[in-house]
Amino acid sequence: MNRCPKCGREGRRSVKRVVSKGRVYWYEVFRHPDGSVCVIRRLSEEEVEAIRPSIDRLEYELLGAKRLIELLLEEIWRRNEALQSARDEALRTLYTAKLYSSHLVKLVEALVKGKDLSPGEDS
């Protein structure tokens, strides 16, 4: 942000179009973050064209921004996939741990009760 030449506060330089009594007037203004506007001076048509960015430049900048957004979306998608596979792996590990712990509980209960734990023959 730049400093306003009129009031010294921070703001952004801009061009304002005003229609009065059927005529179009252009003003150089400073827009402040609080919403207030300082009028700096009146501009001619030539000055307005010189200040306003060309459509070609804006189009080029938008295409560049679009490409960056696409790259960011692709990166977010990849990270999301990695997070999902990590979550799935954690859930599998948790399920396995619960399964082993439940079998361990049954084994300990059987040992405490003095049951025969030899495999194969059931009585």
In this predicted structure, what is the pLDDT of residue 123?
46
Terminal CA-CA length for the chain: 86
Q: Which tokens go with 46?
A: 């030539």
Number of domains, the chain: 2
Q: Is the pLDDT at 107 greater than 50, yes or no?
A: yes
What's the rounded Cα separation, in Å, for the pair 115 and 123? 11
Same domain flag for 107 and 59: yes
Residue 109: its H or E element: helix 55-113
- Residue 105 inside a domain? The answer is yes
- Residue 12 inside a domain? The answer is yes
Domain range for 94 is 54-113
Last-in-domain residue among 33, 51, 69 = 51
pTM confidence score:
0.44
Same domain flag for 109 and 58: yes
Residues 16-53: tens digit of each pLDDT: 999 999 999 999 999 999 999 999 999 998 888 887 77
In this predicted structure, what is the pLDDT of residue 119?
67
φ, ψ dihedrals at 58, nearest 5°? -65, -40
Cβ-based neighbours of 9, under 8 Å, separated by 6 or more: 3, 32
φ, ψ dihedrals at 66, nearest 5°? -60, -45
Residues 43-83: tens digit of each pLDDT: 998 888 887 777 778 888 899 999 999 999 999 999 999 99
What's the rounded Cα separation, in Å, for the pair 61 and 39? 28
